[in-house]
Amino acid sequence: MHDQSAQRASVIVALPAVIDLARQDRAYEQLYAAVADGASVVIADLTAATLCDCSSLRRLVTIQHQAAARGGQLRLAITPGSPVHHIAQLMDLDHLLPIYPSVIQAAAAGPLPHLNAPGLRHPAAGTAVVADITDLIGADLLHILRWQAQFGAIRRRRRDPASLPALATTWDTLARLIDLHMRAKDVICVPAICDPGRQDGTLAREIEGAHENIREMIRETSRQLPGSPRWWHLATTTLSAWTVQADCEEHRLLADYRRAGPALRCQLALQWRAFMDAQIRDEDPSRTRWIFPDRSAPQPGQRGVPRAARKV
């Protein structure tokens, strides 16, 4: 039992120099523990980090969501000009998390207002909300990451027979969300960013090929009995491949999005929304179902968004 003074205390967690997919769980153990203990402010000290990939940085946002649910807040300390700071800037991470140049400044800062929710940026008073494709992609990846976290929680109690129905439902939703995200990238982002007549064309083919490989892994997993050893192996392998590919795409394409300029990013955001609206059958996130492609749906090689975009 922790007393109220312990719950109000700030906790500083020094993170290792390298944080990637293989090291995330161990690196963030103390962050999760501090949030669970009710610390009002948890400071993730990344000043010594030389590598922290996009998926690892994005996972910090999900930790902030858990902290906020308990009345707390996660703050980041990142050395300006460092490789981690560069990636955080490309991701616009400061729109989702408070970032400070040092632990001292993070600890000294006063109470902060409500953090921006993932997705669109909060504009100044009296201005219109302007969508940006990087914001929408980031929000979509966070949504997938939350379902991955739910899948991981079920995996930790996989020996419990009562978890089997939730396992099948969670995997089905997660697989469809990943497939939808990849199709949106193939239809909207890759054709706009990658020039098929230049070296970018090779990158486009690599991305589309990687997406098709992941889809095949999803299909193979779906042929197995949920909860069987073979199914678990394929499911976890598929999610690892997806996380690596999503991180690779962020590293390679974020700078291209920035160079594209705000007008194109806003245009892509509108197309992304239209594409998603055309596919979503139910907006309830607990019962999300997606329409798989058919002959009338846009295919990876097709540009633009579907004309008959409607919710059903």
Span 211-256, pLDDT tens digits: 999 999 999 999 999 989 999 999 999 999 998 898 888 777 777 7
Q: Please state, in angstroms and rounded to a whole number, the distance separating the CA atoms of residues 193 and 272.
A: 14
For residue 9, is pLDDT > 70? no
The residues pairing with 57 across neighbouring beta strands, listed in sequence order, are none
Orientation of helix 262-279 relative to helix 164-184, angle to 10° = 140
pLDDT at position 281, please?
53
Q: Is 310 exposed, middle or buried (0-12, 13-18, 19+ CB in 10 A)?
A: exposed
Q: Is residue 187 part of a domain?
A: yes
Average pLDDT for residues 60-84, to the nearest whole number? Answer: 90
Give a yes or no: residue 165 inside a domain.
yes
Q: Say if residue 158 is in the same domain as residue 255.
A: yes
**Does residue 142 sit in the same domain as residue 279?**
yes
User: CA–CA separation, 170 vs 46, rounded Å?
Assistant: 32
Helix (H), strand (E) at residue 264: helix 262-279
Residues 66 and 166 placed together within one structural domain of the fold: no
What is the tens place of the pLDDT at every residue in 122-160?
444 444 444 688 888 888 888 898 888 888 888 888 888
Q: What is the average pLDDT score of the chain? A: 78
Looking at per-residue pLDDT, the higher value among 105 and 131 belongs to 105
pLDDT at 30 over 50: yes
Range of lowest pLDDT (111-120, 146-155, 161-170, 175-184): 111-120
CA distance 82 to 267: 31
Kindly state whether residues 87 and 223 are assigned to the same domain: no
Same structural domain, 100 and 176:
no
The more confidently predicted of residues 192 and 17 is 17
Residues 140 and 99 both lie in one domain: no
pLDDT for the residue numbered 132: 81
Question: 78 and 199 in one domain?
Answer: no
pLDDT-derived band at 112 (thresholds 50, 70, 90) equals low
Residues 104 and 138 in one domain: no
Enumerate residues 6+ apart whose C-beta is below 8 A from 140. 177, 181, 184
Would you say residue 300 lies in a domain? no
- Residue 193's Cα: distance from chain center in Å? 20
Residue 198 lies in a domain: yes
Among 257, 140, 258, residue whose Cα is nearest residue 192: 257
CA atoms within 13 A on the CB side of 96: 25
Whole-number Å distance between alpha carbons of 38 and 8: 7
Determine how many CB atoms are found less than 10 A away from the CB of residue 270: 14
| Cβ-based neighbours of 186, under 8 Å, separated by 6 or more | 207, 208, 211, 300
Domain that holds residue 217: 133-287
Together in a domain, 141 and 74: no
Question: What is the rounded distance in angstroms from the CA atom of residue 272 to the CA atom of residue 305?
Answer: 8
Residue 115 inside a domain? The answer is no
At residue 196 the predicted structure's pLDDT band, cuts being 50, 70 and 90, is low
145 & 269 share domain: yes
In a domain, 259, yes or no: yes
Please count the structural domains in the chain: 2
96 and 138, same structural domain? no
Helices of type H across 37-94: 54-69, 83-90
Q: Which two tokens stand for residue 233?
A: 């192996």
User: What CATH number has the domain bearing residue 57?
Assistant: 3.30.750.24
Q: Which of these, 287, 217, 274, 213, lies nearest to 248 by C-alpha position?
A: 213
Distance of alpha carbon 61 from alpha carbon 68, whole angstroms? 10
Within this chain, do residues 99 and 154 fall inside the same structural domain, yes or no? no
Q: Tell me whether residue 265 is in a domain.
A: yes
- Is 47's pLDDT higher than 50? yes
Is 98 contained in some domain?
yes
Q: Is 294 helix (H, G, I), strand (E, B) or coil?
A: coil
